[in-house]
Amino acid sequence: MLTIQPDLAHNYRTCRPRDRESKMCFEILGYDVILDENCRPYLLEVNHAPSFSAESKLDYQIKYNVIHDTMKMLNLDLLDRKTLITKLQEEKMERFIGIQKKSPLKKELSSLYTSRFKQEFKY
């Protein structure tokens, strides 16, 4: 994880430069682990882009639960996302037509991130 973290952080900043709180991107990494006769785990490799295709019912259940639990953990709220996108578009249009005013968006984003952080911490 330590070796790939700088590369992942660079990719996130490149894709979402305005996302200062790292709330818009995530990645599911695939860990290949093998157990020895004493059930001690050994890490074989970490996959940057694991396959989510399922070849059996068990495979499907495992991968479905990984994705489901990930989405649940993220605690995504569609209304928050739509509100944020609308406000960002309004701010962009105001800059485009030359309206200079202090953006209340930063305050709103800060409170949104604070409440989101509290929810994540509670989870």
**pLDDT tens, residue order, the chain (123 aa):** 777 788 877 877 777 666 655 566 677 888 899 999 999 999 998 887 888 888 999 999 999 999 989 888 877 666 677 777 788 788 788 877 876 555 555 566 666 666 666 666 666
Quick one: pLDDT at residue 9?
Answer: 79
- Give residue 65's pLDDT: 93
> pTM of the entire structure?
0.50
What is the predicted pLDDT for the residue at 77? 67
Number of H helices, E strands in the chain: 4, 2
Domain of 109? 76-123
Give a yes or no: residue 83 inside a domain.
Answer: yes
Q: Determine which helix (DSSP H) or strand (DSSP E) holds 42, and give its type and residue range.
A: strand 41-47
Backbone angles phi, psi at 77, to 5 degrees: -125, 115
How many domains, the chain? Answer: 1
- Token digits of residue 112: 């949104």
Question: Environment class of residue 91 by beta-carbon count within 10 Å: exposed (0-12), middle (13-18) or buried (19+)?
Answer: middle
| 88 within some domain | yes
Give the C-alpha separation, 59 to 117, whole Å. 33
Please give the angle made by the CA atoms of 46, 48 and 52, to the nearest 5 degrees.
100
Does a structural domain hold residue 55? Answer: no
- Cβ proximity of 16 and 23 under 8 Å: no
Position 117 in a domain: yes
Answer yes or no: is 48 within a domain: no
